[in-house]
Structure 1
């Protein structure tokens, strides 16, 4: 049975979130397509906000799982 791939926008968002929660720069965005890049930046912003709120380590992992379940 083939597994369905996740939505590319969801994947971009989650990758951006991971960069943001780890305090990495927004300039590291690997995407050039405008909509995919925007999804990555939205994830990065969400991750940066969580980083500033102190949701790093285990709390950040739980937050990432919540975001993944919603998406």
Structure 2
């Protein structure tokens, strides 16, 4: 059970990261669950930060 939860949250983080890299707004978060939404936003923030520091163009 824990592995499934971790995988789901990891997937949410990775989807948020991809959204951030593609320049999508944080309002586009598809998750309703607090945990998944938090992970998605964390990934989104990391990607926006990486884009702003020049890691991706």
| TM-score, with length taken from structure 2 | 0.83
List structure 1 runs of 4+ shifted beyond 6 angstroms. Answer: none
| TM-score, with length taken from structure 1 | 0.68
C-alpha deviation, 1:26, in angstroms: 0.1
Matches within 5 A, 1:55-70: 55-56=55-56
Segments of structure 2 that go 5 or more residues without pairing to the other structure are: none
Higher RCO (C-alpha under 8 Å, 6+ residues apart):
2
Q: 1:6-32, CA deviations, whole angstroms, 9 ceiling, x for partnerless residues? A: 700000000000111122100000000
- The structure with more helix, counted as a fraction of residues: 2
CA distance in 2, matches of 1:20, 1:10: 15
Q: Computing the radius of gyration over CA atoms, which structure comes out larger, 1 or 2?
A: 1
Q: Superposition RMSD on alpha carbons, in Å? A: 1.6
Q: 1:28-54, CA deviations, whole angstroms, 9 ceiling, x for partnerless residues? A: 000000000000000000000001111
**Count, aligned residues:** 53
Segments of structure 1 that go 5 or more residues without pairing to the other structure are: 58-71
